[in-house]
């Protein structure tokens, strides 16, 4: 259901939710990681969402979410969506203003109304990219913490389980977000025993804790040959709830990768009753967020080794990260 086409190398690498090549099947959405951002639109029967995430056109790429069956599209409040029989893709954009809490709460409430109404109540993955993520809002609160307040209130009010997520900066203004949701009972959320669940972080990281799980496992959809997926959240150099190795990108990269290792260890998968074999897992759709552009070569060499970049597409994005002392954050899909 997913592939990245990288203009620079002209390769297309697939992590298809269907477990087979989706060429010719419909498309739910194209997320364009490029040189500008804008609100989502419906074009040619799919959602289009441009996000300002690259400094130059040579680094642009498109994440394409394919459909397994006929696609239905629509709009609801500030949201634009597309779904097939099994999955809903939904996107939105909130322009920058003095603060995000109220707008984020509204947007997430609309997401829950929409996913419930359309019969895709199980969120399994979300991405939130915020401009000026570490800068203060008009009342002096950091933009990311401000966003977390509204998101947490919506999750609490609607009593929803928190899925795997990425929170990172963008190079533009405003909040660009997109998410995937499935049928009732399709998602299993996973925590890392070495990390305090993000939703239980102490208040020193912000008045409301971040609302996400460390990973979400998406069960096999019935009978169409579709394979299972493990969506790994943006993962950073945090043990317990504390940032490790402030200022040392190599050590942060190492801790982030070992956090992924812990998350997908056989013992942890078993603990969460996820019946996939660690040794059979293959990574795809890896995205690595790097705060300082000069760190990218080092981070890339470490990630290429861990993920085996002959087999896996890895995109490096030079953007800020939610905690100002974090230098690198790594997400992936394992299947």
Question: Using the rule CB under 6 A, is 137 a contact of ligand 3EB?
Answer: no
Span interacting with ligand 3EB, options 8-16, 33-41, 96-104, 159-167, rule CB under 6 A: 159-167
Q: Hey, what are 7's tokens?
A: 């203009």
Question: Using the rule CB under 6 A, is 210 a contact of ligand 3EB?
Answer: yes
Question: Using the rule CB under 6 A, is 322 a contact of ligand 3EB?
Answer: yes
Which residue, 76 or 199, is less far from ligand 3EB as judged by CB? 199
Span interacting with ligand 3EB, options 52-60, 175-183, 229-237, 295-303, rule CB under 6 A: 229-237
> Taking phi first (over 0 means left), then psi (-120 to 50 degrees means alpha), and beta for anything else, what does residue 41 get?
beta
> How far apart, in whole angstroms, are the C-alpha atoms of residue 107 and residue 213?
19
Q: Which residue among 120, 212, 231, 316 contacts ligand 3EB (CB under 6 A)?
A: 212
Q: Which residue among 165, 219, 288, 328 contacts ligand 3EB (CB under 6 A)?
A: 165
Distance of CA 312 to the CA centre of its chain: 17
Residue 329 bears catalytic tag? yes
Which residue, 165 or 253, is less far from ligand 3EB as judged by CB? 165
Q: Hey, what are 253's tokens?
A: 């990269």
Question: Using the rule CB under 6 A, is 167 a contact of ligand 3EB?
Answer: yes
Question: Using the rule CB under 6 A, is 206 a contact of ligand 3EB?
Answer: no
> Taking phi first (over 0 means left), then psi (-120 to 50 degrees means alpha), and beta for anything else, what does residue 245 get?
left
Q: Which of residues 107-136 bind ligand 3EB (CB under 6 A)?
A: 128
Residues tagged active-site = 329
């Amino acid at each position: 259901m997913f592939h990245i086409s990288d203009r620079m190398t002209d390769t297309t690498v697939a992590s298809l939710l269907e477990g087979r090549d989706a060429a010719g099947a419909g498309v739910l959405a194209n997320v364009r990681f490029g040189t500008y951002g804008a609100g989502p639109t419906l074009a040619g029967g799919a959602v289009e969402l441009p996000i300002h995430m690259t400094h130059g056109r040579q680094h642009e790429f498109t994440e394409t979410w394919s459909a397994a069956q006929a696609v239905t599209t629509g709009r609801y409040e500030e949201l634009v969506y597309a779904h097939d029989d099994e999955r809903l893709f939904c996107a939105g954009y909130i322009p920058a203003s003095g603060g995000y809490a109220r707008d984020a709460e509204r947007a997430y409430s609309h997401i829950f109304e929409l996913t419930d109404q359309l019969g895709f109540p199980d969120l399994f993955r979300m991405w939130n990219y915020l401009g000026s993520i570490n800068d203060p809002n008009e009342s002096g609160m950091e933009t990311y913490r401000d966003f977390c307040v509204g998101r947490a209130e919506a999750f609490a009010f609607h009593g929803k389980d928190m899925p795997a997520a990425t929170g990172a900066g963008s190079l533009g203004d405003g909040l660009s977000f997109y998410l995937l949701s499935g049928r009732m009972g399709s998602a299993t959320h996973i925590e890392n025993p070495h990390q305090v669940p993000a939703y239980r972080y102490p208040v020193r990281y912000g008045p409301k804790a971040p609302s996400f799980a460390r990973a979400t496992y998406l069960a096999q959809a019935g009978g169409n040959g579709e394979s299972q997926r493990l969506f790994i959240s943006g993962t950073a150099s945090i043990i317990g709830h504390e940032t490790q190795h402030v200022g040392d990108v190599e050590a942060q990269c190492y801790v982030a990768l070992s956090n992924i290792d812990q998350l997908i260890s056989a013992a942890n998968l078993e603990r969460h009753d996820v019946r996939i074999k660690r040794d059979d897992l293959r990574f795809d759709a890896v995205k690595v967020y790097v705060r300082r552009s000069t760190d990218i070569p080092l981070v890339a060499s470490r990630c290429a080794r861990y993920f085996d970049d002959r087999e896996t597409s890895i995109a490096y994005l030079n953007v800020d990260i939610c905690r100002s002392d974090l230098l690198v954050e790594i997400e992936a899909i394992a299947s």
